[in-house]
Amino acid sequence: MRFVTTTVLALGLGLASVLPATAEQLSLGAISKYLNAMKTAKGDFTQINDDGSISTGTIYIKRPGKVRFEYNAPDSGIVIAGSNTVVIYDKKSNQPAETYPLSKTPLSIILAANVNLGQARMVTGHSYDGTATTVRAQDPQHPEYGNIELKFTDNPIELRQWIINNGNGDQTTVVLGDMQKGVSLPNSLFDVSKSPARASR
């Protein structure tokens, strides 16, 4: 099932709007502070899968620990992270929903209650290309779970893109449009205990 396969690879997020002409390299402390301040957000996303296929949809974030991806047709699936669990609902399959521990996805790094990129062995790359700062992070206790590459711009700090590299060598990029931050998102959007209805946009 392509939807399930590519979604498992893409349990991470990002933004790919136009980058500003100038920026400064961001410190790990500044990035951690930015992520910790992001409590809720909603926006469109485009997902570039490892096989080159493209999916689109809407993402809802409620930190800590909650995220929801609603995929547009032809995928039309829903992925929810909540209660330390990721559940993948494939609307076109007769199979039961797929479930995974959130802790085994690199996405858990930025959904943590307290993001601290300065802790030992978490960040394995920190670079600047003249327009954006890229940070590659992993679970220092379980590097075999893969890593997430986060791209940020400055003035103000914004997350522009992230790339999930899973433990099998597959890579998936998720790009988001403009994010509405500080929006009211009910906890029912992230209820993994029942089959979800699509949220009103």
The better pLDDT of the pair 5, 171 is held by 171
Mean of pLDDT over the chain? 87
Strands (E), 12-157: 40-48, 54-62, 66-71, 78-82, 85-89, 98-101, 123-128, 133-138, 147-153
Q: What is the pLDDT of residue 167?
A: 77
Q: Which residues pair with 173 in a beta bridge?
A: 48, 163
Q: How far apart are CA 21 and CA 25, in angstroms?
A: 13
CB distance 39 to 182 below 8 Å: yes
pLDDT of residue 103: 92
Structure confidence by residue, pLDDT tens digits, 6-46: 555 555 433 333 444 445 799 999 999 999 999 999 999 99
Tell if the pTM clears 0.75, that is, is over it.
yes
Cβ neighbour number for residue 161 with a 10 Å cutoff: 23
pLDDT at 122 over 80: yes
CA distance 177 to 197: 23
pLDDT digits (tens, 9 = 90+) for 80-99: 999 999 999 987 777 888 99
**35-86 residue pLDDT tens:** 999 999 999 999 999 899 999 999 999 999 999 999 999 888 999 999 999 9
Domains and CATH numbers, the chain: 2-175 (2.50.20.10)
Q: Which amino acid appears at position 167 of this protein?
A: G
